[in-house]
Amino acid sequence: MRWTEGRTEISFDAGSFPAKVGGVDVENPVWLAPLAGITIPPVRSFFRQLGAGLVHTEMVSCAGLVHGSRKTFSMLRTADGERPVVLQLFAADAETLLEGARMALDRSSFEALGINMACPMPKVTRRGAGSGLLERPGIAAAMVKALVPLGLPVWAKIRKPPMTSPMDTLTFSGMLLEAGASHVCIHGRQPSQKYGGMADSSVVLEAARAFPGRIAASGDIFTPGDAKRMLDGGCSAVFVARGAFRDPFLIPAILEGCGFTVDPGHLADSPGSRIDLMISLGERILSEEGEKAAIVLLKRFLSGIFRGLYGASRFRQAVSRSSSWGEMRAALEEWKASPERGEQCDRREASRRDRSSGG
């Protein structure tokens, strides 16, 4: 990253990578966010293959680990080729967090430990965990301090604190860094917003300027321009979340837009190679997690894909109707064999053609 002395303008420079960010060696600052129910090992490996500089696990309950939940332990599995991977944990108090973290590290290894201080779901906040911690800064700081002696970098993911919190975004982030966190990701929505409205990027950029190299941005990263704006503004990384469902190839597009070298087979003008990648993702989820997971996850990743290409909406409908991996795979192969599928067309023309062909 290049800093222009005396000014607050910062412009992103891909040449400064690979680099250590938050104590972790990364190839680039475009990362896959933690996504419950989604960032399982085959999905994380897929996004690493597409170039994501780092991936996160789903959030893992420390209470679940402490109580010996088999399902929770199964979330600690990692796959070859997915490193660096950050284990994201959640708990309502420092003791449970520490015990859970120790148990997790006995099973698997990770490049950093992340603490979830962002989840707004009542089943998590009810006990004071997730975004509930934004109202309990003393406990949040104690959690960071509890994990530091384990020897891995400690990261936190927060939201913009609500009005009822004793601290604003800047003060809360500074407090976590002071307590020993190596890195803080800020999602610029308050917990009550859940995923609605717009993320407030100005508070994230303000914190990034105040704590250079230690603040990542989450929230509304849907285009290469969204990511570039946050990196140019001084964020150490961007977390790609729902953008990866709308377009699973968003990460390579961002990387290309930021000046990184990208495999041409991952870019928009290689739909055939992209289809092969989606098939191999489906096959891998099928073999590791079973057919239901393969269908549910692939439907999510394919629901917005290939927009702007002739026949794409017909393809997506075939995918959404599929009730087995075999049907879904056939829809992918049919789309790959379609003579029209590589052609770009404007949106109106694409939907007119799809309608007239019954799609």
Does residue 88 bind ligand FMN (CB under 6 A)? yes
Paired sense of beta strands 183-187 and 24-26, if any: unpaired
- Given a contact cutoff of 8 angstroms between Cβ atoms, the answer to whether 42 and 289 are in contact is yes
Which residue is it, tokens 């704590």?
211
CB of 16 to ligand FMN, least distance (A): 24
CB of 36 to ligand FMN, least distance (A): 4
Of residues 5, 9, 29, the one with CA closest to residue 19: 29
The stretch among 93-101, 175-183, 219-227, 316-324 that binds ligand FMN (CB under 6 A) is 219-227
* Structure-block tokens of residue 265: 């087979």
The site for ligand FMN, by CB under 6 A, has a size of 23
Q: Which of residues 100-119 bind ligand FMN (CB under 6 A)?
A: 116, 118-119
Which C-beta is closer to ligand FMN: that of 205 or that of 331? 205
Does residue 34 bind ligand FMN (CB under 6 A)? yes
Instruction: Give 81: exposed, middle or buried? Use CB within 10 Å, 0-12, 13-18, 19+.
Output: exposed
* Structure-block tokens of residue 280: 């191999």
Question: Phi first, then psi: what are they for 95, rounded to 5°?
Answer: -65, -50
Does residue 221 bind ligand FMN (CB under 6 A)? yes
CB of 337 to ligand FMN, least distance (A): 33
Does residue 219 bind ligand FMN (CB under 6 A)? yes
Can you list the alpha helix ranges (DSSP code H) found in 148-290?
A: 169-179, 201-210, 224-232, 243-246, 250-257, 271-289
- Given a contact cutoff of 8 angstroms between Cβ atoms, the answer to whether 284 and 46 are in contact is yes
CB of 155 to ligand FMN, least distance (A): 10
The stretch among 97-105, 239-247, 260-268, 276-284 that binds ligand FMN (CB under 6 A) is 239-247
Amino acid at 41: P
**DSSP bridge pairs for 86:** 56, 112
The stretch among 8-16, 146-154, 215-223, 312-320 that binds ligand FMN (CB under 6 A) is 215-223
| Contact footprint for ligand FMN (CB under 6 A) | 33-36, 38, 58-59, 88, 116, 118-119, 157, 187, 195, 199, 218-221, 239, 241-243
